[in-house]
Structure 1
């Protein structure tokens, strides 16, 4: 197995740079919000892997996709890949509620983020991914 040298790009580092660039390119409340939730995700799970998928969507994974962070004109959307299987006692999920798999949190300009509840959702999503991965191994 070849080891990465200092001149070789690691996919995660490249994805992190692309996410940095997206945040800077937005340059408004959406960039600030995406940066804020990104920081909370990394605090909740320091082992999370950042990816860049589907032509420009930040993705955070740990034993599978935890959530994505899409930005639209009026909303920053955090979509949890297996959100329908997660407990949400704080009621953060407010979008994609009709599906049988995903759930999302739409964050609008001026919304306050319940940091504790978001971190608990991240923990739960990671635990679910790890549990499912260990069952299939």
Structure 2
């Protein structure tokens, strides 16, 4: 069973409002960018990635939690983050029963996370190229 099928099963098993909320969150995430990949990690967590992990979703007893891997690095003009605010890297959105998913704002946040992942990947690539050039003696002379 692939990751998308496992996420489908999780949503099916979660028959109350949490399953509906997780399905809405998932739909918004996947609509934000066609290149997002669904993964199944850590013994049962839906993970959405593009150029690195974007977010992890979980249905807990009284909430659906969507944790952004590098949420502390993202601008959140719509103030979606409401959990993990003290952390240096992660930020989360806790959806409680009756909460509506702000689809537009969530998509914007997902796109910001993708942009962050891509910028970090580019930085690492440039550092690796510079290190390789220095190692082979091809570093630019000033």
Q: TM-score, normalised by structure 1?
A: 0.89
**Corresponding residue pairs, total:** 125
Q: Which of the numbers 74, 90, 111 marks the counterpart of 2:99? A: 111
Q: 1:100 aligns with which of 75, 88, 93?
A: 88
Residues in 2 aligned to 1:136 and 1:130: alpha-carbon distance in whole angstroms: 10
Runs of 4+ that moved beyond 4 A: none
Q: Can you give the 5+ residue segments of structure 1 that lack an aligned partner in the other structure?
A: 1-12
Question: Pairwise CA RMSD of aligned residues?
Answer: 0.8
Please tell me whether residue 33 in structure 1 is matched to residue 35 in structure 2.
Answer: no
| Match for residue 70 of structure 1 among 43, 58, 76 | 58
For the residue of structure 1 that corresponds to 2:2, the secondary structure is helix
For structure 2, the 5+ residue unaligned runs are 126-142
Give me the TM-score of the superposition, normalised by structure 2: 0.86
Is the Cα contact below 8 Å between 2:67 and 2:91 reproduced in 1? Answer: yes
Match of residue 55 from structure 1: 43
